[in-house]
Structure 1
Amino acid sequence: MDKLHQTLMRYFGYSAFKVGQEDIIQSVLHQKDTVAMLPTGGGKSLCYQIPGYMTEGLVLIISPLLSLMEDQVERMKMRGEKRVAALNSTLSFHERRHIIRHLPSYKFLFVAPEALMSDALLQQLKSMHVGLFVVDEAHCISEWGHDFRPEYSKLGEWREALGHPIALALTATATKQTLKDTVQTLRLQQPDFHIHSVNRPNIALVKEVHETKETKEKRALELVETIQGPGLIYCPTRQMTEDIALLVKQKTHQRVEFYHGGMEAGDRMLIQQQFISGQIDLISCTSAFGMGIDKADIRFVIHMSPPQSIEAFMQEIGRAGRDGKSSVSVLLYTEEDADIQSHLIQAEGFDDPEIDFFLAQLSQVPTNDEKKLRERLMEAGLQETRARMLTHYYMMHQSEQPRVLLENLKEKLQDRQTEKLKKVWQFKERITDHSCFRQSLLSYFDEQLDQAEGSSSGNCCSSCGLDLSDYEKKDQPLELNEMKHWKTELERMFHLIKEAQH
């Protein structure tokens, strides 16, 4: 057994790699900047952890979501890795300072991209040897990607400041343009590309066109009662997640909870854990749920409305079937759905009076500190996502004359809105088309469907004659008690612990 497989067995207990992992790891070990696209569930975290164990220096992992970081840190600690930490907004000032001061004792450090704006952290990192610079969810780099994060645009600059460590960019979905943007932004040197198909053959694809919102809801209730779970229902708004969860509770036997970004962190964490441990059958959620949730046996994903892009759709259906077993994605659609998404995108935009007002706010802050500028906009009443975007474009053009700055700012914001609307209509075209749904989605990523995985396999898509009855429950569902509120549940747990100690 070679050293690579010895490391795999020693730290993870596996005797073989998943498809694509070994080639990516070998590329990093040969000191090559690497861009890798593996489907959800393909084992991306292993691609930086094994090189970390086999090489010198700190492994710095930039990750966009707290749940992703916390999940990875917990899993590494459960395997016995003590040299791991995460720097994020949940830590107190003293906790952050402790980690930064003791950074040389860590092997793996997870950070949100905005954390690298900290001079204290950057200076400490400069004094160390950063062996590997990892960008997780690298599609966030691209301005035209489905989940762009403005802070990601500075990663190339920060990487240069750290002495150009080897970079590994990881994602599950990316178009050619997104991959190109990744290379340019990170300033990669002749990178190796390891691009694997976004196709998940074990996930059957169903699309159903309905006349009204009410018929979609009725169909969703039928599906959650008949299809083998556990499952997810993705909704376009926070209110809809609550409405659907209530409807499922009233009309079915499913143990269901809702999940969205407006909930308290304690509520979200408890629901995640209950779902992972099998105490909940179904979660009605926005796109806030999914990344970093390590549950391999999700059997179905239902969309009450198409997401805003094909990339987002492929990410979300990829939550299912991570164990490789047969699963199904059901997209419920009405003609008005594209209009709903278009309205949501337009609501993110800015009219001229808003731009004038918020530019005036920014001009009153005599600083180039992007974080302070963003906070000023939020104090003035701007929602965080919109504040991040406006501050990002302002920083790009602030050296220009006020009139030119205003024109360029409006142009950038309009271009972004136009691109997002274009993605909505590209998705609509594929939904309303009668050809193979799977091939239609893959064509967006310039892929062709392997015929062995197509209609001949019998589980391709509804356009190819899929029989949904193959995914139905084999046993009758049991009626089970609903989960208590998380505070009540925690009180019960602490009470049991105290009783056990006496």
Structure 2
Amino acid sequence: MDKLHQTLMRYFGYDAFKTGQEDIIRSVLQQKDTVAMLPTGGGKSLCYQIPGYLTDGLVLIISPLLSLMEDQVERMKMRGEKRVAALNSTLSFQERRHIIRHLPSYKFLFVAPEALMSEVLLEQLKAMLVGLFVVDEAHCISEWGHDFRPEYSKLGEWREALGNPVALALTATATKQTLKDTVQTLRLEHPDVHIHSVNRPNIALLKEAQETKEAKEKRALELVETLQGPGLIYCPTRQMTEDISRLVKQKTHQRVEFYHGGMESGDRMLIQQQFISGQIDLICCTSAFGMGIDKANIRFVIHMSPPQSIEAFMQEIGRAGRDGKNSVSVLLYTEEDADIQSHLIQAEGFDDPEIDFFLARLSQMPINDEKKLREQLMEAGLQETRARMLSHYYTMYQTEQPRLLMKKLKEKLQDRQTEKLKKVWQFKEHITGHRCFRQSLLSYFDEQLDLTEDASFGNCCSSCGLDLSDYEKKDQPLELNEMKHWKTELDRLFHLTKEAQH
């Protein structure tokens, strides 16, 4: 057994790698910058943990979500790894200071991209050997980096400041453009690229057209009652997660909670852990939930409307069936859904008077700190996502003449909006088409359906005659059975127990 497999057995108890893992790990160990796409459940975290055990220096992991960081850290600690920490917004000032002061004692450090804006942290990292610079869920560079999380666009700059450690970018879904964005943003030259299929053949794909929002809600309740759980219901808005959760509680016997980014972080973490441990059957959530969540037995994912892109859809359905067993994705949609998503995207934009007003505010601030500019805009009444965009582009172009700055700013904002709207309408075409839904989705990623691979699972998609009954609960609900007198039932169980002891 070579050293790589010895490390796999010692730290993780496995005697073989999953598809793609070994090639990615060997690439990193050969000091090659590496971009890798493995399907959800493909074991991406192993690809930086094993190199961490076999090389010198800190493994710095840039992670997009608090829940993802916490989940990874807890799993590593449960496996006995004590040299791991996460710097995030849930920590007190004293806790953050303690971690930064004791960085040399850690082997793995998880941070959000925003954390690297801290000069104190960056200076401490510069004084250390950073052996591996990991960007987890690297598709966020394209999906979020231009507006929602502009700090992603600075990852290459920060990596250079740390002496250009070996980079590893990991994702489960990526188009050619996403991969190109990742390579450019991280400033990688001739990286090793390892691409594996986004297809999850054990997840059947069902799409159902409904007439109204109310019809979708009624159908969701039917599915929750009949499908084998546990499950997730993805909703387009925070309010809908609460509404659907309330409806499920009223109409079914499911243990259900809602989850979205507007909740307190402690509440979100509690619900996440209850779901992972089996205390909750169903979560109604926004896209804020699920990335990297290690719950292997999720049996269904329901979408109350299509997400804004095929990439997001493939990420979210990938929460199901991580144990390799048959699971199902159900997409409920109406004719108006694409219009609603388009309206939400357009609402994020700026009209000319708004740009004039906020640029005037920015020009009055003698600050070149993007974070402080963003805070000032939020204090002036701008919603956080829009404040992120405006402060980022202003910082990028502020050396230009005012008229040219305005022109470039408008062009950039318009380009982003156009790109996002394009993805919404692309997805609608894939949903309303009549060919195999799986093949249609794979074609977006320039893939072809491997018929031999999918044939072993039988059920492909609703376009190919999917039988939903294969995913329904097999046992009769207790309340439908004839209930015996409780004393008779207790006596029966007691005698069964006594017999089992002999």
Quick check: TM above 0.5? yes
Distance 1:453 1:380 in 2: 55
Over 3 Å counting, the alpha-carbon distance change for 1:145 and 1:392 in structure 2 is: closer
Whether the 8 Å CA contact 1:139–1:147 is kept in 2: the answer is: no
Q: What TM-score do the two structures reach when normalised by structure 1? A: 0.93
Distance 1:143 1:407 in 2: 24
Query: After superposition, where does 1:176-215 map in structure 2 within 5 Å?
Result: 176-215=176-215
Structure 2 partner of 1:279: 279
Amino acid in structure 2 at the alignment position of 1:230:
P
Q: Which moved more, 1:143-152 or 1:421-430?
A: 143-152
Give the SS at the match of 1:142.
helix
Amino acid in structure 2 at the alignment position of 1:177:
Q
Query: After superposition, where does 1:401-416 map in structure 2 within 5 Å?
Result: 401-416=401-416
Higher CA-based Rg = 2
Whether the 8 Å CA contact 2:258–2:284 is kept in 1: the answer is: yes
Over 3 Å counting, the alpha-carbon distance change for 1:251 and 1:215 in structure 2 is: same
Query: After superposition, where does 1:482-501 map in structure 2 within 5 Å?
Result: none
Deviations 1:363-385 (A, max 9, x none): 12212111111111111111211
Distance 2:129 2:286 in 1: 40
Structure 2 partner of 1:20: 20
Deviations 1:76-108 (A, max 9, x none): 111111111111122222222221111111111
- Please say if 1:294 is aligned against 2:294: yes
Amino acid in structure 2 at the alignment position of 1:150:
P
Structure 1 partner of 2:482: none
Structure 2 partner of 1:442: 442
Whether the 8 Å CA contact 1:317–1:329 is kept in 2: the answer is: yes
Query: After superposition, where does 1:320-359 map in structure 2 within 5 Å?
Result: 320-359=320-359
Structure 2 partner of 1:31: 31
Over 3 Å counting, the alpha-carbon distance change for 1:478 and 1:249 in structure 2 is: farther
Contiguous gaps of at least 5 residues in structure 2: 480-502
Distance 2:54 2:293 in 1: 27
Deviation at 1:145, TM superposition (A): 7.5
Structure 2 partner of 1:153: 153
Q: What TM-score do the two structures reach when normalised by structure 2? A: 0.93
Deviations 1:218-243 (A, max 9, x none): 11111111110000011111111111
Whether the 8 Å CA contact 1:36–1:195 is kept in 2: the answer is: yes
Distance 1:249 1:269 in 2: 21
Deviations 1:346-365 (A, max 9, x none): 11111112111211221122
Distance 1:357 1:305 in 2: 35
Deviations 1:26-46 (A, max 9, x none): 000011000001111111111
Deviation at 1:476, TM superposition (A): 2.7
Deviation at 1:478, TM superposition (A): 5.0
- Please say if 1:171 is aligned against 2:177: no
Deviations 1:167-217 (A, max 9, x none): 000011111011011111111121000111110000000001111112111
- Please say if 1:422 is aligned against 2:422: yes
Q: Which moved more, 1:330-339 or 1:288-297?
A: 288-297
Aligned residues: 479
Distance 1:330 1:158 in 2: 41
Structure 2 partner of 1:388: 388
Distance 2:317 2:431 in 1: 15
Whether the 8 Å CA contact 1:232–1:300 is kept in 2: the answer is: yes
Whether the 8 Å CA contact 2:37–2:173 is kept in 1: the answer is: yes
| Identical-pair percentage | 90
Contiguous gaps of at least 5 residues in structure 1: 480-502
Q: Which moved more, 1:343-352 or 1:448-457?
A: 448-457
Distance 2:269 2:189 in 1: 40
Over 3 Å counting, the alpha-carbon distance change for 1:441 and 1:122 in structure 2 is: same
Amino acid in structure 2 at the alignment position of 1:64:
P
Structure 1 partner of 2:465: 465
Over 3 Å counting, the alpha-carbon distance change for 1:267 and 1:318 in structure 2 is: same
